[in-house]
Structure 1
């Protein structure tokens, strides 16, 4: 979708999602944020009557019927409504389409558009999440809803605007929509209660619809918003926790000889499920989301990332340690002034956990990533007015932490990626990100901590030395868990 300025709707929605997650969903079905822990694994694996007792009110209904054609019709209706608003109310030039425009778009091939970074890397994944959730609410699985998300994006690119179809839009909307959409689906599930009636039912449906518009629209179309019935047990995760951080951020300017500035920063995040403690069955049964918001002109969301487990199998299991082999999907968004990176990627991952005393443990992960598409800030030129390049790549990430689920007391993350430029300045990029953080418990759910981060980009040009840009960040904060 074309945008003359980045939409603030997706930014506001990210903040709302994470804020609701830290306050409401962790109490949705009576599961404390920190229970059950490592030494209570039998309760997580409970089945039959024991499982129903552990989650009162959560009955298992019949498997949902699939409605793929209804889902496609709803996606078409959403695209038509969005186009009509832009064409007849907002009077956007790019919304003036005709059969001649459609024919040209069907035969002209794809381009790389010049929209702003936030529009392409944040707004498009959010819109893809709407398509995806229409599919999920119509009984489709993660894998089955993926083609619908692609079709919704392609339908808009060809029929919804008079610009040539954009390759980066289709990729960001389709792949990013899977990650953003499944996170919204899981969180809205924690709010919904099919057995509720009256004002409680109405309040839950409205809250879930605001959190997840695609699903809310679909539930109204099919009458599920008011139909009373059993609530699937899978809507209640065995482990869930939200957390928040507030503090002071000192951010480097990224250029030698320039002094950075200090700002207030708010961090929000959540942990849903655990690959070591829970019975993994479906993609995103375990996922994590983190975001930081900074008060400054022109920028609000500084960083956001989501990682969802797609599949996992055990390689080795001992009384006090485990090794797993997993596959993850990653969504990354970094916008800190002159350093911008947005990426859609997948990984094969080795996961390790070693139990210590009590509920404490040490965890580590090694991710080998394949980057489907990354956007990396660069110097604008006559051929690249966007100010950032597009391309695929590969990367490796090392993560390690000491803590007690979901609280990480000490942690380190190191990541290196190589991105091959397909569109933009004719250069490849090396991206390095490092983070060292501490978050020490002080009183009950309160903690004190700090972190040191370094972002570095080396732009590679043949027969020339790398052109590095690096941005250090240091912050101190008070945390709530």
Structure 2
């Protein structure tokens, strides 16, 4: 390879946050990160797509669904700007999952147009701000702006990277169609842009792969089985329903070369396949924004970093149960320091890892026992969280993991001294019941190896909530769920 070519490849790689050593590992490269065409940035096209997305969704709501909130005018926009932001009363899944998911579309409008992680982040904010101020007659919601922006960035970068795992421009026929369909399902805006540019059907002999598994290894698994959700902590009073879970460990936390945001992340998404429970019952996402390896003299590997967190737990009442909802927990916008360390191998214990994280919660949510306005039965607020994960890998036998989550969320802006009878609920502007909540989730799990790819999966999650209300009686609640299933490790 000529010196001039090496310099050009390194320059292109460095401009996209990729180390020169990684690129020189594949001098010919079949990977898109060395393709000059793929390094071009289209910020104005990304902006047009962000605006167009909002206009398209608004037009559907206004002219197809005939929704009252979409009947905007110049006066409604002027009123929204003059009145300012409030805390809205949409349901839990709308505010704390749907809005972050929508933010991921804004983010990926930019990400799939060649912009890097940090350059794409403002698009999530701008798209959300435009929608809140100009696309609804209801007052703009501060919680939507936070969740859509910060939660959207987390989901956006994760889906962008996961879609890269299935894309391969060298394929043809049904195999190519399947890859493009799956990639679009994972990251819709990337699929739309590939359709616009024609990359969706172009067949290439070079620069055709979007992920280098040697550079950034991936562990991916799918599990399915039965979940038992206890009602009010009763062992034999609850309901069984099937579940499907996806897990991914992306990258190596101790990697000294690949240090761009989300070069290391872990993700878990659980689907509840029961009409009585939410389709999406759990999402746990942890992404490294920045990290540095720490030196040790004992053979231990360590990494200190700053991490972004997105956690979402949702459930509904048990059929023929007590009428109490087991849990609703959200950490939609959260960031903070953490440390991961790995001990040297000890006999049959192949891997022992310990992780500890402390984060500031900018926006979180928890089930409430009193506040119930329009569609909201939960409090929102800010606070902090502490998480611990212990992993013991026994090699050919299986592994044991213990996940501990502790959340403390403070609801600062209550409604108790407001004239509720003469206040429009849309303008109530309350986070919920003034007070604070302590939430704990304890999740031990065991995986037993049945073969090279199949494992038996058994786990329990214990949920504890203690809510202190400033103007109401305090409430404690605890319950649990168990899961037994079969896991396939790719």
Structure 1 residue aligned with 2:12: none
1:267 Cα offset (Å): 2.2
Structure 1 position 60 matched with structure 2 position 34: yes
Stretch deviating more after TM superposition (443-452 or 120-129): 443-452
User: For the Cα contact (< 8 Å) 1:61–1:232, is it kept in 2?
Assistant: no
Q: How is 1:257-406 mapped onto 2 (pairs within 5 angstroms)?
A: 259-277=237-255, 279-296=257-274, 297-318=276-297, 320-337=299-316, 338=325, 339-344=327-332, 345-356=334-345, 357=347, 360-381=350-371, 386-403=376-393
1:385 Cα offset (Å): 5.7
Structure 2 residue aligned with 1:440: 448
Q: How is 1:66-85 mapped onto 2 (pairs within 5 angstroms)?
A: 66-85=41-60
1:463 and 1:151 map into 2 onto residues whose CA distance is 38
1:442 and 1:257 map into 2 onto residues whose CA distance is 29
User: For the Cα contact (< 8 Å) 2:168–2:210, is it kept in 1?
Assistant: no
User: For the Cα contact (< 8 Å) 1:239–1:273, is it kept in 2?
Assistant: yes
1:102 Cα offset (Å): 1.0
Structure 2 residue aligned with 1:454: 462
Stretch deviating more after TM superposition (178-187 or 252-261): 252-261
CA RMSD in angstroms, aligned pairs only: 2.9
Provide TM-score, normalisation by structure 2. 0.81
Consecutive aligned runs of 4 or more in structure 1 exceeding 6 Å deviation: 404-408
2:218 and 2:143 map into 1 onto residues whose CA distance is 34
User: For the Cα contact (< 8 Å) 1:333–1:341, is it kept in 2?
Assistant: yes
1:311 and 1:413 map into 2 onto residues whose CA distance is 22
CA deviation map 1:430-455 (0-9, x unaligned): 11111111112122222223212211
Partner SS state of residue 480, structure 1: strand
Match of 1:92 among 67, 76, 89: 67
Q: What stretches of structure 2 of length at least 5 have no aligned partner? A: 1-18, 317-324, 413-430
Q: How is 1:17-416 mapped onto 2 (pairs within 5 angstroms)?
A: 47=22, 50-51=25-26, 60-62=34-36, 64-194=39-169, 203-226=178-201, 230-231=206-207, 235-237=211-213, 238-254=216-232, 259-277=237-255, 279-296=257-274, 297-318=276-297, 320-337=299-316, 338=325, 339-344=327-332, 345-356=334-345, 357=347, 360-381=350-371, 386-403=376-393, 409-416=399-406
CA deviation map 1:408-433 (0-9, x unaligned): 71111222221110310112111111
User: For the Cα contact (< 8 Å) 1:59–1:232, is it kept in 2?
Assistant: no
1:169 Cα offset (Å): 1.0
Structure 2 residue aligned with 1:25: none
Structure 1 residue aligned with 2:478: 470
1:126 Cα offset (Å): 1.1
Match of 1:479 among 466, 469, 487: 487
1:107 Cα offset (Å): 1.4
Partner SS state of residue 114, structure 2: coil
1:180 Cα offset (Å): 0.9
Partner SS state of residue 443, structure 1: coil
User: For the Cα contact (< 8 Å) 2:406–2:440, is it kept in 1?
Assistant: yes
Structure 2 residue aligned with 1:9: none
Structure 2 residue aligned with 1:424: 432
1:134 Cα offset (Å): 0.6
User: For the Cα contact (< 8 Å) 2:169–2:209, is it kept in 1?
Assistant: no
Provide TM-score, normalisation by structure 1. 0.83
Which of the pair has more CA radius of gyration?
2
1:349 Cα offset (Å): 0.3
Partner SS state of residue 364, structure 1: strand
2:455 and 2:174 map into 1 onto residues whose CA distance is 37
User: For the Cα contact (< 8 Å) 1:442–1:448, is it kept in 2?
Assistant: yes
Partner SS state of residue 324, structure 1: strand
1:382 Cα offset (Å): 6.0
Number of residue pairs matched by the alignment: 437
Stretch deviating more after TM superposition (464-473 or 116-125): 464-473
Structure 2 residue aligned with 1:33: none
1:427 and 1:285 map into 2 onto residues whose CA distance is 38
